[in-house]
Amino acid sequence: MGILETYNYYYEMSDPRVENWFLVGSLWPISLILFSYLYFVFQCGPRYMENRPAYKFKNFIRVYNIFQVIANAYIVNEIWEVYPDLTVLQCIPIDYSTTPGALRIVKACYYSTMLKVVDLIETGLFVLRKKNNQISFLHVYHHITTVLVGVVFVRYVSGGMAVLFPALNGAVHVIMYSYYFLSSIEGIKDVVLPLKRYVTIIQMVQFVIFLLHLLIALSPSCPVPKFPVLVMIPNVLLNFTLFYNFYKKAYLNSKTKK
């Protein structure tokens, strides 16, 4: 079986509940979006901004942050109302049924993935604001992989214990975008800015919880698909390493220098 045939075989083994949904019915639209994203960030955008002053987007960014807080809070609420007892130390099989609760979860997971596509806007804003120092490998890798993982997640494992990922990640993003919004307001900015390091710590703790959760899913006694788990473990480890390196460089090394 060739590479294309292998891809088609596994990609067609998806959840029939989502096979015709926008951007997850096929991998090609997402691939085109990510290719356009990389082209704009590293080629088209910098050329366009080369002889232009940086844009501000101050009000847009504030509205965007509020939107992210509301959208992520909605997703977290939807998941926790269906899985109120969801914990990292519990194996919950994936529900592929069409019951109201299962469909509600699939939609929440789908919205979470679409939100990751919306997140790509942030890098574009960095380009247009000439904040090139913020376009790090961590930033680009994290945004691309969350979109890809989100699509795979919706197509294959949107239910059961796997929903801890969008639930916990959504909660972390509520905190993160609340911080971004508050740190943009004059008068309280100086009080909020020192909290930035704790936002990074919360993100790292999130990856530790994800890893523990994946190890439980990997147990032979836990009846969930193992291949997505094996794919996610190195991705989670790499994300944690990148965030820790950023934290060490931004806070620990700078503190030593001082």
Catalytic residues: 142
Total residues belonging to the chain: 258
The answer to whether the beta carbons of residues 214 and 236 sit under 8 Å apart is yes
Sign of CA dihedral 178, 184, 187, 188: positive
DSSP string, 16-54: TTTTTSTTTS-HHHHHHHHHHHHHIIIIIHHHHHTTSPP
Q: Which residue has the tokens 């075989």?
A: 9
Nearest Cα to 217, choosing from 206, 231, 203?
Answer: 231
The DSSP letter of residue 223 is -
